[in-house]
Amino acid sequence: MRHLVKAVALASLLIASALYLAGRSTHIRGGAPTTPRIPPTRHVWLTFTKAGANSPLGLKLEAMLDSMMMHSRDVVLHLNVISDVTSRDAARLLIDRLLSLHYPSTSSQSPENLKPTPTYSMYDVEECARNLSDIVQCMTPHFSSKPGSYYSDALFYLSLGLHRIAPEDQTQIISLDCDLRFKSSIELLFKEFDKFSSTNLYGLGYELSPVYRHVLYNYRTKHKNTRFGSEPHFSKGNAADTSNLASNRSNGVNGADAETEGFPGFNSGVILLNLERLRRSKTFANLLKCDVVRNLTKTYSFKGHLGDQDFFTLLGYEKPELFHTLDCGFNRQLCKWWRQYVDVKIFDDYFKCDESVKILHGNCNTAIAQNENYVLKV
């Protein structure tokens, strides 16, 4: 009997070993498990011009990168900074200082505790502007206030040509303003690429002010029920079966009968770009042509002043299939400038954001308090 127990135990052991070895060999064929997975490099693009290290923009950039590094310890970051002669050294100093603070290379740290240190590259703004001069020429007459004014520089159209500027090996990138503050890992933002439909080229959050309600005043007067320029939760008259709002949007429906949700326009402080598709897209190359841009602005009697985001806004209405809409928590704008010029109730309908805040945006020079966890205070 005891022999039988022994024999059964031996047989089980042999079977278990065989299974273990079979499993192991499968793993070896499959490759991965024995070596740790190397996370992908995440490419972030920033513009930093006409500024010094302690200038207002320098301080914003520092606070932004500080919060990004603090919340994104496990992310392999590569910063791509577009800068000019006066600001380049300041940007380098500032980034190097933050890197030594957040990623000290002390020998006391065990290798497994060492976090991947971000790297960075600098690009010359004038060279970029030359490379994109055809795009800028088509855009400025429609989306800049007056030549030489704040938003008229090529600087504010760079996002429309990053697919020409960025090195070929960069396929998905995120462009960020300097006046942001991270509340969580930038990896959450990169994960939004996984939600892109097969036609999406860009990911953007809504503009959280009624600026396009104002810009589109003439068009909206003639098209009373339009959702273009309306607050996100707008529903016209009694049209609303609000249950299919999301499907209207994902189907790209923007005809009169489907107008159940407002489209306030996009804000370009945070932009996801699928560069691989942008480089290949004939549709997009065509949309950047001067006569196409002119016709687009004519259709909506549109005269803007906010650069790239004006163009994204027009395209977002005309060609929604090109865009993935980020939830408002990824670009929680804080500017309340419009609140003094429109009905407060209207302003608050645009400004409201119930999503968890991942990134704060101190646009129109709005200060972001340390440790601010933003809730609307009225």
Q: How far apart are CA 3 and CA 8, in angstroms?
A: 9
Q: CB under 8 Å to 284, separation ≥6 — which residues?
A: 201, 278, 322
Toward ligand UDP, which CB reaches closer, 55 or 250? 55
The residue range among 91-99, 176-184, 215-223, 243-251 that interacts with Mn ion, by the rule CB under 5 A, is: 176-184
SS3 for 284? helix
Q: Please report whether residue 211 would count as binding ligand UDP according to CB under 6 A.
A: no
Instruction: Report the candidate in 242, 46, 11, 52 with the shortest Cα–Cα distance to residue 125.
Output: 46
Mark out the alpha helices in the chain (DSSP H runs): 2-30, 56-71, 85-102, 125-131, 133-143, 162-165, 187-191, 211-215, 217-222, 245-250, 275-280, 282-287, 290-299, 308-318, 344-351
Q: Which of 42, 47, 154, 311 binds ligand UDP (CB under 6 A)?
A: 47
Q: Which of 364, 367, 369, 376 binds ligand UDP (CB under 6 A)?
A: 364
Q: Please report whether residue 80 would count as binding ligand UDP according to CB under 6 A.
A: no
Q: Please report whether residue 334 would count as binding ligand UDP according to CB under 6 A.
A: no
Q: What single-letter DSSP state applies at residue 327?
A: P
The residue range among 48-56, 109-117, 134-142, 343-351 that interacts with ligand UDP, by the rule CB under 6 A, is: 48-56
Q: Give the count of residues interacting with ligand UDP (CB under 6 A).
A: 14
Residues 255-274 that bind ligand UDP (CB under 6 A): 269
Q: Which of 44, 57, 322, 360 binds ligand UDP (CB under 6 A)?
A: 57
| Residue 136 site contact among ligand UDP, Mn ion, none (CB < 5 to 8 Å, cut-off depends on kind) | none
b/e per residue, 231-242, with b = 16+ CB within 10 A? bbebbbeeeeee
Q: What single-letter DSSP state applies at residue 55?
A: S
- Shortest Å distance, C-beta 46 to ligand UDP: 6
Q: How far apart are CA 217 and CA 196, in angstroms?
A: 32
| Residue 50 site contact among Mn ion, ligand UDP, none (CB < 5 to 8 Å, cut-off depends on kind) | ligand UDP
| Residue 140 site contact among Mn ion, ligand UDP, none (CB < 5 to 8 Å, cut-off depends on kind) | none
Q: Which of 62, 153, 177, 192 binds Mn ion (CB under 5 A)?
A: 177
The residue range among 19-27, 120-128, 258-266, 357-365 that interacts with Mn ion, by the rule CB under 5 A, is: 357-365
Toward Mn ion, which CB reaches closer, 232 or 269? 269
Instruction: Report the candidate in 99, 93, 43, 112 with the shortest Cα–Cα distance to residue 69.
Output: 99
- Shortest Å distance, C-beta 178 to Mn ion: 7
Q: Which amino acid is at 117?
A: T
Toward ligand UDP, which CB reaches closer, 270 or 275? 270
SS3 for 46? strand
Residues 133-192 that bind ligand UDP (CB under 6 A): 155, 177-179
Q: How far apart are CA 345 and CA 354, in angstroms?
A: 16
Could you tell me the sign of the dihedral formed by the alpha carbons of 161, 164, 169, 171, in that order? positive
Toward ligand UDP, which CB reaches closer, 269 or 320? 269
SS3 for 274? strand
Toward ligand UDP, which CB reaches closer, 83 or 200? 83
- Tokens 């950039």 locate to 61
- Shortest Å distance, C-beta 330 to ligand UDP: 14
Q: Please report whether residue 308 would count as binding Mn ion according to CB under 5 A.
A: no
Are the C-beta atoms of 327 and 205 separated by less than 8 Å?
yes
Binding site for Mn ion (CB under 5 A): 177, 179, 269, 363
Binding site for ligand UDP (CB under 6 A): 46-51, 57, 155, 177-179, 269, 363-364
